[in-house]
Amino acid sequence: MAYFDTLLGAFITLLVTIDPPGLAPLFLAVTPGMNRQARKQVAGRAIIISFILMTVFAIAGSQILNLFGISIGAFRVAGGLLLFWIAFEMIFEKRTERKEKSAEIAITKDHIRNIAAFPLAIPLIAGPGAISAIILLSDSFESPAQRSGLIGMIIVSLAITYVILLLAERVDRFLGETGRSILTRLLGVILAALAVQFVADGIKSIIATV
């Protein structure tokens, strides 16, 4: 029973940290001009990359960070800076200049791979928060069998995320071009604030360990 409670706690922690509903509008914002098939490919690749990364940290997260001398605080600062760069582009993007080019760029395989890896998989899905949570959760799953349970919770959480990302296309059709433009800039501001919070938390963590 205790193990089941631990699994349930891990699942809830991962789901809240990944925040699939919050990712849906961001997914739309970073995939402008893409058709249904292209967005499906991006979402699928992002989930696969995230699963590999999160599983690696579930198995040997603490050892990896210690090996390179990286603290969780430093990881949060780096992730926050990456998010802020994305937010800056979302807010000040010249949509009128990119409107005609976006569809053409979006259908290229390289662009699909790039968007899936960054910023979707890293740092939006498998970001500092999710990886930090996994590293902390892994301490409660000591044996290989228990670790497999944690990996199972990662799979379930990412499966839910994938479904929600696919449903985001319906929202895209409802919003239209004007709605997407407004939403992108609004989310850019929110994402910038989130990025600053990541950096602040990281700095606090670094100072606390000095």
pLDDT digits (tens, 9 = 90+) for 154-206: 999 999 999 999 988 776 667 666 776 776 788 778 778 878 887 888 898 88
Residue 159 is assigned to a structural domain of this protein: yes
Task: Identify whether 26 is part of a domain.
Answer: no
Question: What pLDDT was estimated at residue 63?
Answer: 81
Domain residues for the domain of 147 are 2-13+42-209
- Within a domain: 20: no
Number of domain units in the chain: 1
Proportion of the chain above pLDDT 90, given as a percent: 17
Kindly tell me if the per-residue pLDDT of 56 is higher than 60. Answer: yes
Of residues 204 and 82, more confidence is placed in 204
Cα distance between residue 201 and residue 128, in whole Å: 11
Give the pLDDT mean for 94-119: 58
pTM above 0.75, yes or no: no
pLDDT at 36 over 90: no
Q: Looking at the domain assignment, is residue 98 inside a domain?
A: yes
Q: Calculate the alpha carbon distances from 116 to 62, 71, 172, 194 in Å.
A: 26, 26, 18, 20
**29, part of any domain:** no
